[in-house]
Structure 1
Amino acid sequence: MGRPLVADIDLDALRHNYRLARDLAPSSQALAVIKADAYGHGAVACAHALNDLAPAFAVACIEEAESLRRGGIDKPIVLLEGIFSRDELPRVEELGLWLSVHSEWQVEALLAFRPRAPIPTWIKVDSGMHRLGFAPEHLPSVWHRLQDAPDRVSGLHLMSHFATADLLDDDYFQHQLARINELATSLDAPTCLANSPATLAWPRAHGAWNRPGVMLYGSNPLEGGNDASRKLKPVMTLRSEIIAIRDIEAGEPVGYGGRWKAPRRSRIGVVAAGYGDGYDRHAIDGTPVLVEGQRTCLVGKVSMDMLTVDLTDLPQAGIGSRVVLWGQDRDGEILSIDEVASYCDTISYTLLTGILPRVPRHYHGGVQADEA
């Protein structure tokens, strides 16, 4: 059987979450974001699971798109960061990719290229994130230059990214939305604005396309959540087993540096999982863990290959007892990755994308007939 640490990937849950994104915005198309290897879930497997539902996918770079094409995915793929050098354009054409542009040199490269068919292109505007995109005052000239090159460019859209859509009452979000909507109206431009939090909570930001990302994998991106986010289902369950048990006296330390000391006579379980697998070393004492479907917690620092949990109040637990580090136990108990992330002073994105290759992914579900 080998080491018991496994990342179970529930493709039915992935499909459920995609349908939720789609149904929250019935007038929009939902671009399934599967960059960073589908947030650690396996991009090719997730794309195949969504292939009959999603009209298009989105990745960060051409290498990710090439991996999907090699894996048999032939739907449109948007390069969210566009090209990194002009010599990528022939490959963009060959793979049939959709392009985003956010810098003047990309526009110049695209206008100098001679594709056999025009390339669908989305223009990024910096509405306030101050990361990528054209300043709003410069955007109209870029739009018109590309619009005037129908032999090179097609399907122009306006794209932007929100800095604070996860906050349910935020003036800066309203400021960004107003800026982009003013531009879109003046240009009569279709838009792609809504990321996961805006898809879940801000219908006014829904455009021709939305970009659900982390919500597809069951993580709640909203501060506090709402009725829609509470319908999300976890896609990844990181599970392992107890491989050893120690009985220690009150005052005895556990783990490197003796950070945690037993407040009473305690029973400690050793779990096959550590930071060498991607479990966050910054997890503090008290980080929740499920053992045989019951909540307990991490005690002591996470090691490279192991971590330790308190079994004192779980007398039924023993060698081989099942452990869920996040996700859903087989009895239905859920330990949210968002809750675990909060104990690590991070976000779910870093935990999901941080699971390393030595952790096997086991896939199940993913029917290919849309039930909706």
Structure 2
Amino acid sequence: MSRPLRAEIDLEALAHNYRYAKSLSHGRTLAVIKADAYGHGLLRVAQCLCGGDGFAVATIEEAVALREAGLRNRILVLEGVFDREGMCEAAWRRLDLVVHSGYQLELLKALPETRPLSIWLKVDTGMGRLGFDGADAPGIYADLAALSAVRECVLITHLACADEADSPHNHLQLQRFDATARAIETQRTVRSLPFAQSIANSAALIGLPDARRQWDRAGVMLYGINPHMGSGQDHNLKSAMTLRSRLIAVRSARAGESVGYGCDYRFYHDGRFGIVACGYGDGYPRHAPSGTPVLVCGRRAQLIGRVSMDMLAVDLSAIPEARVGTEVELWGGALPVAEIAASAGSIAYELLTGVTQRVPRVYGNGTRLESGGGADRAAGPDSPAP
């Protein structure tokens, strides 16, 4: 019998969350499926959402994997490309590209005669990572308009504080972006290159209506995480991943006895505890402290002692019916991953993307489950459409 740990992926929850993102958008919505779809499986998630407006990934390798799996949707590469080979590959694969630096603009200008590309011109309005200065954007737009290799320009930026809806920095970034967009609109060249805008990520889609434009980008909300709610979850979003295992041992402890590395946890009275087949080698946060919640028999129990590579311990003193083989939920619909992340001093993004490949992904539509292989296996025709 195989190890009982598994990550159950609810495809209908993913489709529901995408529909909710679409309901907030004023235009079209890209499903952000970078980093193996936040740990949920790149190809399976893409197949589930293939009826949507398109996808956004971080790297060209992710985009190529989608194309080779037969996905024909629009695919935006958020980091763009870094050399001539990547630029040619993007053109051949009909990918949308972010251009955020001068060297990428030069690569585009040197591109041989090919199918024209949709270019997303990134401006830095206050994130401080990637992007051109807004004052330079009108001239760059004019350069793009002069290139036969470009068929469309989307002005894009990223908000630094979108998960803090009341932050004045959001207003500042929107002001800068709108000023840049107006400057481009007022100097459109004779060749009227189609022009659109994109600002909103998940946090802005939910909490900043003024950031919604022709293209929005739904990321973490697709997987059931509301970035505005800390350790809670919004009723409009459904958790897409449940990390589930079983008790592989149940033991008694006397007052004063310890459990785990470092003898960090000691029982103050006689008790009972169980060992769960899951550890930091599977992606569970190593620094989750004693007291982190775990569901056993559908009831809250507490993590005790240090998390090991392959195992963790939970206090069963108040759950006498728990025994070897009892199911344990480490996070999911009844125990938000954001709550576990907060307990461990982390964020839900890190926990979801950190689930390792040795954890089987098991895919289902509501109650029906089927085995899957993570990023290297595409969904079948029975995957729900958004």
Q: Give the TM-score of the pair, scaled to structure 1.
A: 0.94
**How far off its partner does 1:72 sit?**
1.9
Match of 1:312 in 2: 317
Asked if residue 290 in structure 1 is aligned to residue 295 in structure 2, the reply is yes
Asked if residue 255 in structure 1 is aligned to residue 260 in structure 2, the reply is yes
1:176 to 167, 173, 176: 173
CA distance in 2, matches of 1:223, 1:141: 40
AA partner of residue 103 (structure 2): W
AA partner of residue 15 (structure 2): R
Asked if residue 39 in structure 1 is aligned to residue 45 in structure 2, the reply is no
Q: Which contiguous aligned blocks of 4+ residues in structure 1 show a shift greater than 6 angstroms?
A: none
Asked if residue 129 in structure 1 is aligned to residue 101 in structure 2, the reply is no
Q: Map residues 271-286 of structure 1 onto 2, 5 A cutoff.
A: 271-286=276-291
CA distance in 2, matches of 1:237, 1:159: 33
Match of 2:378 in 1: none
Most deviating of 312-321 and 137-146:
137-146
CA contact (8 A) 2:365 2:384 kept: no
1:78 to 54, 76, 79: 76
Gaps of 5+ in 1: 329-333
Most deviating of 186-195 and 152-161:
186-195
Flag the 1:115–1:317 CA change in 2: closer, same or farther, 3 A.
farther
Flag the 1:69–1:198 CA change in 2: closer, same or farther, 3 A.
same
CA distance in 2, matches of 1:223, 1:185: 34
AA partner of residue 95 (structure 1): R
CA distance in 2, matches of 1:311, 1:185: 62
Match of 1:331 in 2: none
Flag the 1:139–1:279 CA change in 2: closer, same or farther, 3 A.
same
Match of 1:269 in 2: 274
CA distance in 2, matches of 1:341, 1:224: 9
**How far off its partner does 1:148 sit?**
2.1
Match of 1:114 in 2: 112
Matched residue SS, 1:9:
strand
Flag the 1:355–1:369 CA change in 2: closer, same or farther, 3 A.
closer
1:237 to 224, 236, 242: 242
CA distance in 2, matches of 1:202, 1:345: 26
**How far off its partner does 1:16 sit?**
0.5
CA contact (8 A) 1:168 1:223 kept: no
Gaps of 5+ in 2: 186-194, 367-381
Deviations 1:87-116, CA, capped at 9 Å, x for gaps: 211111121111110000100110111242
Deviations 1:35-76, CA, capped at 9 Å, x for gaps: 001000001000000011x11101111111111112221111
CA contact (8 A) 1:123 1:156 kept: yes
Deviations 1:335-370, CA, capped at 9 Å, x for gaps: 000000001101011101111111000011285565
**How far off its partner does 1:316 sit?**
1.1
CA distance in 2, matches of 1:84, 1:266: 58
Match of 1:50 in 2: 49
Match of 2:64 in 1: 66
CA contact (8 A) 1:277 1:304 kept: yes
CA distance in 2, matches of 1:271, 1:81: 39
**How far off its partner does 1:185 sit?**
2.3
CA contact (8 A) 1:217 1:236 kept: yes
CA distance in 2, matches of 1:225, 1:275: 21
CA contact (8 A) 1:93 1:115 kept: no
Match of 2:156 in 1: 159
1:212 to 200, 218, 235: 218
Give the RMSD, CA atoms, in angstroms.
1.6
Deviations 1:154-211, CA, capped at 9 Å, x for gaps: 1201000001000121111111111111211222342111011001111110011001
CA distance in 2, matches of 1:158, 1:212: 17
AA partner of residue 218 (structure 1): G
CA contact (8 A) 2:116 2:151 kept: yes
Match of 1:339 in 2: 339
Match of 1:140 in 2: 138
**How far off its partner does 1:251 sit?**
1.9
1:92 to 82, 90, 93: 90
CA distance in 2, matches of 1:181, 1:22: 23
Most deviating of 40-49 and 262-271:
262-271
CA distance in 2, matches of 1:100, 1:209: 13
CA contact (8 A) 2:231 2:342 kept: no
Matched residue SS, 1:316:
coil
AA partner of residue 6 (structure 2): V
**How far off its partner does 1:282 sit?**
0.7
Deviations 1:245-290, CA, capped at 9 Å, x for gaps: 1111122111100111112211111000001111110101111111
Match of 2:14 in 1: 14
AA partner of residue 180 (structure 1): F
2:205 to 199, 203, 211: 199
